Amino acid sequence: MAVASSLVLLASACGGDEEAGGGATTGGALEGRGPITFATGKDTSGFLPAQVSAWNSQHPEEKVTVVELPESADGQRQQMVQASQNKQDSFSVLNLDVVWTAEFAANRWVEEIPRDSFPSLSAAIPATIKTAEYRGKLYAVPITSDGGMLYYRKDLLTKAGVQPPATWAEMATACQKVQALPEGKGMGCYAGQFEKYEGLTVNFSEAINGAGGVVVGEDGKPNVDTPEALAGLEFLVNAFKSGAIPKAAITYKEEEGRRAFQDGKLLFHRQWPYQYALASKTDGSSKVVGKFAVAPLPGLNGPGVSTLGGHNYAISAFAKNKASAADFIKFMASEERQSANLQASSQAPAWASLYDDTALQAKFPYLTPLKASIEKAQPRPAVVKYGDVTAAIQEAAYDALTEKKQPKQALTDLQTKLSSLITQ
Ligand code: GLC
């Protein structure tokens, strides 16, 4: 959408090439072969070792060592930024969250990707490629996309005679009906990710977009102090106040919420697709196997809007073995690896046609709502100073949810802060 393009201008105003870290030889050849490292967030899927050993067995001279970083996006970024600032070759391939491209590219911590030598790009969902670009150049290769969905207890909704909700009000009514059943007694109604980290930026943005508001407008300017944004934030604040969102959810990142849903403690859960495979595991770790389904996120007056998530693989400017790094990325971006990952981990592939594969659709019914979620999803601001922008959003959202600030005040203050961070 338009936010992205106007923010490109903004990113250039924020320093861009002038802040060069001196690492990347932009547009230069990707040379050097040998062992490499791959820095990535905690592998919650458990499938990464299989992917990496498929590569390693075919490339004994170019083995990949996985460096597992923290579970939280903010913790991952911190370590990758640190290694880059120190110009270390500790991470050859970086698994970058879609929101970090501008920062890593502007600082020249990652190499430019020569589009012609990466065939997966022509098969990728166009929005995923946009997340890997900075000032018209490509700095990473889309591997997974991500879209939020509403996981719900199909068994209990059916028992209560209610349809999956399209609006927040319908969700509240559905909760009351299910909680009146003996099976629903004491269950939490709804949760998402509300701990003070990147997931809160996602959930806050979705609440605001779901009420017709924006964090940053189409003109690239912050515009979060509006009645629409207030309605979105109030949905979350009031749900915490009424207990519809359990108090404990203020400490939830993706994994804490997933465990609550799998333990049968939540009727509705806003979550990424990766939860589908884990909540379907028949090894005793999930109490909701076969009892849940997914629907689009609800909103104020109709279906809601997801924030666009996902991950792109980039080559560190400080890597010795850049040719091996590039080949490993090509391998992981291939249709075969993307399909294997989808089937094992239910993560959203960047490879577009996998969503339309009827055999996969039959086996993984979440693929259709997931595709719709990604197609409608709103990107977060593509700015070099994204770390400061997201910290400001997290603080405003957290202060409102914990009742430290009135929602209106939190939005007014956020507007002021974002206006000073995002200048054109
Ligand atoms: C997921 C998304 C990522 C997002 C993060 C927030 O990993 O793919 O884009 O920033 O969740 O926790």
Q: Whose CA is nearest to atom 1 of ligand 1?
A: 309
Q: Whose CA is nearest to atom 4 of ligand 1?
A: 309
Verify that 137 and 153 share a domain, yes or no: no
Identify whether 97 is part of a domain: yes
Q: Whose CA is nearest to atom 12 of ligand 1?
A: 199
Verify that 137 and 156 share a domain, yes or no: no
DSSP state at residue 190: E
Whether residue 3 has pLDDT greater than 80: no
Closest ligand 1 atom to residue 72 Cα is: 12
Full DSSP string of 302-344: SB--PBPEEEEEEEBTT-S-HHHHHHHHHHHHSHHHHHHHHHH
CB 245 within 8 A of CB 188: yes
Full DSSP string of 277-302: HHHT-TTTT-S-TTTEEEEPPBBSSS
Distance in angstroms (rounded) separating the CA atoms of residues 420 and 111: 30
Whether residue 14 has pLDDT greater than 70: no
Identify whether 30 is part of a domain: no
Verify that 211 and 342 share a domain, yes or no: no
Whether residue 22 has pLDDT greater than 90: no
Identify whether 24 is part of a domain: no
Q: What are the residues whose beta carbons fall under 8 Å from the beta carbon of 392, sequence distance 6 or more?
A: 414, 417, 418, 421
Q: Which CATH number does the domain housing residue 220 bear?
A: 3.40.190.10
What are the tens digits of pLDDT across the range 333-388? 999 999 999 999 999 999 999 999 999 999 999 999 999 999 999 999 999 999 99
Burial of 135 (0-12, 13-18, 19+ CB in 10 A): middle
Identify whether 27 is part of a domain: no
SS3 187: coil
Whether residue 122 has pLDDT greater than 60: yes
| Pocket test residue of 145, 202, 254, 306 for ligand 1, highest count of atoms within 8 A of CB | 202
CB 376 within 8 A of CB 305: yes
Q: What are the residues whose beta carbons fall under 8 Å from the beta carbon of 419, sequence distance 6 or more?
A: 221, 222
Identify whether 31 is part of a domain: no
Q: Determine the pLDDT at residue 28.
A: 63
CA of 61 to the centre of ligand 1 (A): 33
Verify that 40 and 108 share a domain, yes or no: yes
CB 147 within 8 A of CB 309: yes
Whether residue 17 has pLDDT greater than 60: no
Work out the pLDDT band at 21, boundaries 50, 70, 90.
very low
The residue whose two tokens read 């109030």 is 234
CA of 179 to the centre of ligand 1 (A): 31
Ligand 1 pocket (Cβ < 6 Å) reads 73, 97-99, 146, 193, 198-199, 202, 254, 272, 309-311
Verify that 303 and 180 share a domain, yes or no: yes
Closest ligand 1 atom to residue 146 Cα is: 8
**Range(s) of the domain holding residue 60:** 36-146+308-376
Whole-number average pLDDT of the chain: 93
Report the predicted TM-score, pTM, of the whole model to 2 decimal places. Answer: 0.93
Verify that 342 and 232 share a domain, yes or no: no
Whether residue 180 has pLDDT greater than 60: yes
Identify whether 82 is part of a domain: yes
Q: Determine the pLDDT at residue 13.
A: 36
CA of 148 to the centre of ligand 1 (A): 10
CA of 66 to the centre of ligand 1 (A): 20
Distance in angstroms (rounded) separating the CA atoms of residues 65 and 312: 18
- Give backbone dihedrals phi and psi of 367, rounded to 5 degrees, phi first: -60, -40
SS3 71: coil
Distance in angstroms (rounded) separating the CA atoms of residues 224 and 202: 14
Verify that 98 and 225 share a domain, yes or no: no
Verify that 210 and 108 share a domain, yes or no: no
For residue 76, which of 381, 275, 305, 314 has the smallest C-alpha distance?
314
Work out the pLDDT band at 16, boundaries 50, 70, 90.
very low
Number of domains in the chain: 2
Verify that 303 and 322 share a domain, yes or no: no
As given in the structure block, the two tokens for residue 189 are 């109604």
Closest ligand 1 atom to residue 309 Cα is: 9
Distance in angstroms (rounded) separating the CA atoms of residues 357 and 360: 5
Cα distances (angstroms) measured from residue 53 to each of 16, 48, 60, 315, 412 = 38, 9, 10, 20, 51
Strands 348-349 and 149-153, how do they pair? Answer: unpaired
SS3 231: helix
CA of 197 to the centre of ligand 1 (A): 10
Identify whether 25 is part of a domain: no
Distance in angstroms (rounded) separating the CA atoms of residues 306 and 148: 5
- Give backbone dihedrals phi and psi of 266, rounded to 5 degrees, phi first: -125, 140
Verify that 204 and 314 share a domain, yes or no: no
| Pocket test residue of 97, 252, 270, 278 for ligand 1, highest count of atoms within 8 A of CB | 97
Work out the pLDDT band at 29, boundaries 50, 70, 90.
confident
What are the tens digits of pLDDT across the range 188-241? 999 999 999 999 999 999 999 999 999 999 889 999 999 999 999 999 999 999
Q: Determine the pLDDT at residue 218.
A: 87
Whether residue 19 has pLDDT greater than 90: no
Verify that 249 and 303 share a domain, yes or no: yes
Q: Whose CA is nearest to atom 3 of ligand 1?
A: 309
Helices (H), 364-406: 367-376, 386-401
What are the tens digits of pLDDT across the range 78-104? 999 999 999 999 999 999 999 999 999
Verify that 152 and 259 share a domain, yes or no: yes
Identify whether 229 is part of a domain: yes
What are the tens digits of pLDDT across the range 269-325? 999 999 999 999 999 999 999 999 999 999 999 999 999 999 999 999 999 999 999
What are the tens digits of pLDDT across the range 248-272? 999 999 999 999 999 999 999 999 9
What are the tens digits of pLDDT across the range 135-175? 999 999 999 999 999 999 999 999 999 999 999 999 999 99
CA of 377 to the centre of ligand 1 (A): 13
SS3 124: strand
